[in-house]
Amino acid sequence: MSLSREAIVEGLQRIVGPEAVVTDEKVLVESSVDNFRKLQNIFDVHTLPVPAAVVLPADAAQVAGILTWANENGVNVIPKTGGTATEGGLESAVPDSVIIDGSAMNKVISVDPYNMQATAQCGVPLQALEDRVREHGLTTGHSPQSKPVAHMGGLVATRSIGQFSTLYGGIEDMVVGLEAVFPNGETCRIKNVPRRAAGPDIRHIVVGNEGALCFITEVTVKLFPYFPENNVFLGWTLKDMKTGFEVLRDVMVNGYKPSVARVYDPGDAGVHFSHFAEPDDCVLLFMAEGAATVAKATADGIQAIVDQHPECTQVPSKYIETWFNDLCWGPDKILAEDERIRQTRNVNRTTEISADWSTINDIYQTAKARILDEIPDITMMGGHSSHSYINGTNMYFNYFFNVVGVGPEAETEKYYLPIISIICEETLKRGGSIVHHHGMGKARAPWVKDEYGSSYYMLETLKKAFDPKGIMNKGTIFPI
Ligand SMILES: Cc1cc2nc3c(=O)[nH]c(=O)nc-3n(C[C@H](O)[C@H](O)[C@H](O)COP(=O)(O)OP(=O)(O)OC[C@H]3O[C@@H](n4cnc5c(N)ncnc54)[C@H](O)[C@@H]3O)c2cc1C
């Protein structure tokens, strides 16, 4: 028999004390959604089950206590840290869920400049960790746009990626060790070592689990020397994305490691670069960084590659630097964007996928054409590639639409999900991945079997082994 809301609150209070259990109705209602159904919070119209409580554990022992209790009583838990999720990972899919909010576990445990690694609790905002390591002339190398507001636990749980990924990699390349608690209360610390070959690399069971297998309590990441004075910015305009993808590929396959390598299509360039780009211009840009000799050699090599493409017209590097300096989203920008949506009912959404060099342009062209043809009320449909690899790149579709004829609660069903469906279909058809870095959440969970194919057996087996009672974030990664 399932516990009543009162029994859930009492059970939690016994584990963490009454002051660490939030039952304020407004907080609970707003916690039923994340950015995936953000219009529900912007317009204060809610349709999802209201969670029973938000609980703020102080340490891993309290997390273990909460999970053991939830597991014994069949209570669905939703791990949370920064709350910037975009794919419904924080949505309460079933009534009387408990949100385990790790934001009170916010200590930087150690910064070790000799071994070039830092350890932080899950609730440390990335910006706070970055500020701490900068005092030593170091950087984490991780710079997602949500850096001021996203926390270490969530960043690891979603397999996040930052603007400098082409040099430093995604979070999966940065995590050297971590601590996580499983639903039966088992607390596991994976030690910090430079490399291991002692069987499978079990860090990757935890990285990207989106709260569907375990709760991450502590993370150790690599550190790198910070040389902002050596940064070189390079930018060009050009008339088609196919050439842009070709240039990105040339740079990657020739072994260059710029920290930033991007190409924007005309629609998206209009959003970011209207101060110099013509309406039909694509924008190609790079940033080289590191020790002075490395940054210069990287920039010179990229310049030589792009010089072989006369269809690219170079722009002053200060244009790119100005854009770059205003890239992160703190609370002010987020609130201003919410207000813009409230006033205009014009919504901006994004969906990111990845594919190899042979197919990325086809996915981009076909998905864009279909969305413009099949979805009503689009006011801008565009995108950019922002994370490149030796064997392919990502596409970050960026689109705006006016919400017409439905309320804020139906926006997702009328516009957002049909758009995501088109992007997923066109990506899967060509063998790409339907999620590059925002996580599956609940938004893309319906495609999980198509994404994994025959390897779904391995994913499903992990869920059955670690969360046999299915209490971890129901509906996330694994659809209900
Ligand atoms: C304005 C904006 C810009 C963004 N830019 C980027 C970007 O550049 N790159 C990028 O990768 N993403 C970006 N995102 C998406 C988001 O910031 C990332 O997914 C981020 O990693 C989420 O971290 P968080 O701490 O906010 O996690 P939350 O939103 O709290 O949670 C995200 C997911 O992780 C799970 N989770 C959270 N904490 C834990 C934990 N301790 N243990 C287990 N599971 C947990 C949750 O259940 C949920 O499924 C952006 C989002 C916004 C709103």
pLDDT at position 101: 98
- Residue 11 tokens read as 């059970």
pLDDT at position 132: 98
Residue with CA at minimum distance from ligand 1 atom 8? 144
Distance CA 289, CA 359 (A): 29
List of residues 6+ apart from 11 with CB closer than 8 A = 3, 69, 73
If we measure between CA atoms, which residue out of 83, 39, 90, 31 comes closest to residue 442?
Answer: 90
Cβ atoms of residues 235 and 283 within 8 Å: yes
> Residue 263 — φ and ψ, nearest 5°?
-135, 130
List of residues 6+ apart from 143 with CB closer than 8 A = 130, 162, 163, 164, 328
Residue 473 C-alpha to ligand 1 middle, in angstroms? 14
Nearest ligand 1 atom to alpha carbon 89: 49
Nearest ligand 1 atom to alpha carbon 215: 42
pLDDT at position 326: 84
| Identity at 207, one-letter amino acid code | V
Residue 296 C-alpha to ligand 1 middle, in angstroms? 34
Which residues partner with 178 through β-bridges? Answer: 190, 219
For a substitution probing ligand 1, which of 38, 80, 99, 166 has the most ligand atoms within 8 Å of its CB? 80
Residue with CA at minimum distance from ligand 1 atom 27? 154
User: Whole-structure pTM over 0.95, yes or no?
Assistant: yes
If we measure between CA atoms, which residue out of 101, 120, 114, 174 comes closest to residue 144?
Answer: 174
Residue with CA at minimum distance from ligand 1 atom 48? 89
DSSP state for residue 415 in the 8-state scheme: I
Report DSSP letters for 78-103, one per residue. EEESS---SSSTT---STT-EEEEGG
Nearest ligand 1 atom to alpha carbon 211: 44
Cα-based torsion angle of the residue sequence 188, 191, 197, 203 in order, rounded to the nearest 10 degrees? 50
Residue with CA at minimum distance from ligand 1 atom 14? 146
Degrees, nearest 5: CA angle 43-47-48: 120
H-helix or E-strand spanning residue 265:
none
- Residue 373 tokens read as 């043809």
Residue with CA at minimum distance from ligand 1 atom 4? 146
What tens-digit pLDDT sequence spans the chain (480 residues)?
789 999 999 999 999 999 999 999 999 999 999 999 999 999 999 999 999 999 999 999 999 999 999 999 999 999 999 999 999 999 999 999 999 999 999 999 999 999 999 999 999 999 999 999 999 999 999 999 999 999 999 999 999 999 999 999 999 999 999 999 999 999 999 999 999 999 999 999 999 999 999 999 999 999 999 999 999 999 999 999 999 999 999 999 999 999 999 999 999 999 999 999 999 999 999 999 999 999 999 999 999 999 999 999 999 999 999 998 888 888 999 999 999 999 999 999 999 999 999 999 999 999 999 999 999 999 999 999 999 999 999 999 999 999 999 999 999 999 999 999 999 999 999 999 999 999 999 999 999 999 999 999 999 999 999 999 999 999 999 999
Residue 395 C-alpha to ligand 1 middle, in angstroms? 19
Distance CA 348, CA 145 (A): 15
Q: Which residues line ligand 1 (CB under 6 A)?
A: 35, 78-86, 89-90, 102, 122, 144-146, 150-151, 153-155, 157-158, 160-161, 210-211, 215-216, 329, 334, 437-439, 473, 476
Q: Which domains does the chain have, with CATH numbers?
A: 228-325 (3.30.70.3450)
Distance CA 451, CA 462 (A): 16
- Residue 401 tokens read as 């639409």
- Residue 403 tokens read as 């919400």
Residue 313 C-alpha to ligand 1 middle, in angstroms? 37
For a substitution probing ligand 1, which of 35, 145, 386 has the most ligand atoms within 8 Å of its CB? 145
DSSP state for residue 412 in the 8-state scheme: I
